[in-house]
Amino acid sequence: MQGHLTAIHIAAIYAQAGQKRLGNYVTNTPFTDLLNKIQTYQARAGVIGLGYVGLPLAITLAKSGFNVTGFDVDPAKIRALDAGNSYIEAVSSDDLTRESSSGRFHSSDDFSQLAFCDVIVICVPTPLTKHRDPDLSYVEATSRSIAATLRSGQLIVLESTTYPGTTDGIVKTILEKTGLKSGRDFFLGFSPEREDPGNRDFDTSSIPKIVAGDGVEAGELMQGFYGQAVKTVVPVSSNATAEAVKLTENIFRAVNIALVNELKTVYAAMGIDIWEVIEAAKTKPFGYMPFYPGPGLGGHCIPIDPFYLTWKSREYDLPTRFIELAGEINSAMPRYVVGKLAEALDIRSGKALSRSRVLIIGLAYKKNVPDIRESPSLRLMEIIHERGGAADYHDPYVAEIPSTREYMALKGRKSVDLTKETVESYDAVLISTDHDSVDYTLLAASSPLIIDTRNIFTKRGLMADHIVKS
């Protein structure tokens, strides 16, 4: 309740400040000019980075009435968009074509066009280095590209997930090297992305949007801009607070998933089914929220975002033991699963993993999407290979493994067809991602051994001795 009242209070402060300022201004200023453009949809928006976050945002802005230019350094994306072909499930090719034909959306790799954009939103990757330190090279490079054409009267927004202080520290510092000042000449804000690939219940326009700005005027512009395209805007007091909101959301999930992953290993040793425990526990109407175990964490957010805070906390000489322990537990899950696989092969067929062929079902990090970022399936394949086994995969959404930074040896591997003969040729099937379109009845009937990390067979009533939960 207190946080809700705080948001309302902040909104009221912004509104009062805006009325007073607009009433007192005699001549136009960068703030009043830009606010008027936003309110009348005359502001041109630029979205940098046309991936899972940027492209849905760009099309949502275009649908609302803004003219939008989407920027990306990948010429293949630009060619696809120019041809009317969407490569993001959340954006249909029909919607893309409609907004392109209307003239409200076009894509470009010419970053000099940023000069013509009144609002520029940064949606670029923020990965970790191999030492789990933040890699802000994409944010920094993009900020320098914006600085090259920065002019008075622009609103610059960072949406990429990062640690508190990035927007006002790194982005602002780079932009102010031009001699222009935040809050006087240009305006700076942060609004964390909240995309959930594969979730058809929410889209960019219906997910509540956290917004903040560097100063009251920047905050007003942020509310005005996103309020034109998103149903619910939630203002907070500072960019650092907004950055912390995003980290908190994903740390919450990472820690709770680590808890059930640890409980899985303990209960398995006791002969207790963690899935049955969770199903019973979630009948409690208060004080409990179900989280589910799995073969490891995937996606860009949950495996990565918590470590942005652990890195930043070192500056304050404060430990983040919960977060780091959660990371250790979740990172250990792929090796635990392969251990259960090796044990089951030995017990049920007397065959060592080093002499076995394994078919992994699902390469994507979550079901019903083609996104393989940080997917535990890649790690599972790597560990099986390390132990001398052979691993292939089947995924109806991922035809071929693309180039990745950590798993270059797997590049070019292709999804195998799921037929009775194919399944029978493998010593075991390992369920890593429970896509709805997979024929689990075929798997249950044709595979001599199944390792199920998602409880999908029990959910479908397909229970047998050769199906082992892990």
Active-site residue list: 301
HEC string of 274-327? HHHHHHHHCCCCCCCCCCCCCCCCCCCCCCCHHHHHHHHHHHHCCCCHHHHHHH
d(CA 192, CA 402): 27
Listed in sequence order, the residues at least 6 apart from 217 whose beta carbon sits closer than 8 Å to its beta carbon are 17, 21, 31, 183, 187
Residues composing the chain: 470
Buried b (16+ CB within 10 A) or exposed e, 353-366: beebebbbbbbbbb
Provide the residue type at 172 as one letter: K
Listed in sequence order, the residues at least 6 apart from 115 whose beta carbon sits closer than 8 Å to its beta carbon are 149, 151
Ranges of beta strands (E only) in 182-255 are 187-190, 209-213, 233-235
Three-class DSSP category at 420: helix
Answer yes or no: are the C-beta atoms of 213 and 222 closer than 8 Å: yes
- What are residue 414's DSSP bridge partners? 400
